Every structure is written in C-alpha cells, then in structure tokens.
Amino acid sequence: MSVETVQQLLKMTRLLHTNLANSLEKASLSTKNEKVLMLLDYLSLHEKELSRVLALSEQDAQSAAIHTWCIEYFDKHAIALDNIDYSNMTFAEIMRSIVTIHNKIIELYRYLALRAESVVANELLNNLLTLEQHEAMRIVRDAQELEDL
C-alpha cells in the first residue's frame, strides 16, 4: 500500500491492526497451550478494538490534518506485517513480536509528529502516538497479569 498522506497512514495502520487481529485469531484456533490461547484471544480482540478506534479517528480528523503529506518516512522505513505464525510461538515470543510491531508504529507516529508543519496534523499525530503508547503499555501489563495466572 502506497502511503503519501496522513489519511493513507491511518488506513495503513488500521489495516495492519486488523490483519494482526486476524493472524492472532487464526493462531488461537490451533494452539494447545491454554495460556497462549488466552493471550491470542485477548490480543486479537485488542487489535480489533485499535482498528476500530483508528477508523473513528480518521472520521473525526480535520480535513487539513488527514490530507497532510507524510511520504518521506516511507521512503526510508517500511512497516509491513509479514505472515507470522503465532500458533507455534511461546507466550514470550508472541509478546516480543507484538511489542516490536507496536514499537514500529510508535516510532512512525513520533517521527511524523516531530516533522508535521501544521498544528492540526501535529495534534492528530501526537494523539495517535499517545494512543499507541498507552495501548502498548496496556497490552504488556495485561499480558503480564495473564502470564501470572
């Protein structure tokens, strides 16, 4: 997917979260480990919710913000969700993968927010950055609680 504007960025990250949710859900159907199953189910639901929130953010964003150009990041960095098979991973491996993906998205939002020239685009990107940061922390906290069961 070619990403040139903040609107396309929102669509890309929404699609990334949706695809991640689908991969996690698919893996949950074939895992035998109870804790891994609970983790996969939790993460799948969480990623679906993030996708929904990003769709709402896109709808609520001001036109000037979502039509801001952001192509320079993607000339240097690619964010893609490879076909990761979570069904054969341990609890820790799944969490490392999820945290890595979220950290890449956080890095993306941080980079773009620092370079946004318009106030509305900067505000939107900082809001997205804060959302991803808090959701990543929440995922880690909830996973640690689940692992302690």
Mean pLDDT calculated for residue range 14-32? 93
Residue matched to tokens 């990107």: 125
State residue 53's pLDDT score: 94
Contact (CB, 8 A) for 81 and 23: yes
Query: pTM of the prediction?
Result: 0.89
Mean pLDDT calculated for residue range 106-132? 92
For the four alpha carbons of 115, 120, 123 and 129, in that order, the dihedral sign comes to negative
Read off the tokens for 21.
């949710």
pLDDT at 141 over 90: yes
pLDDT category of residue 56 using cuts at 50, 70 and 90: very high
Mean pLDDT calculated for residue range 91-116? 93
Mean per-residue pLDDT over the chain, rounded: 89
Distance, in Å, from the CA atom of 113 to the CA atom of 99, rounded to the nearest integer, reads 21
3-state secondary structure the chain: CCCCEHHHHHHHHHHHHHHHHHHHHHHHCCCCCHHHHHHHHHHHHHHHHHHHHHHHHHHHCCHHHHCCECHHHHHHCCCCCCCCCHHHCCHHHHHHHHHHHHHHHHHHHHHHHHHCCCHHHHHHHHHHHHHHHHHHHHHHHHHHHHHCC
Residues 6+ apart with CB under 8 A from 132: 102, 105, 106, 109
Pick the CATH number of 6-147 from 1.20.1260.10, 3.20.20.105, 3.30.1360.10, 3.40.30.10: 1.20.1260.10
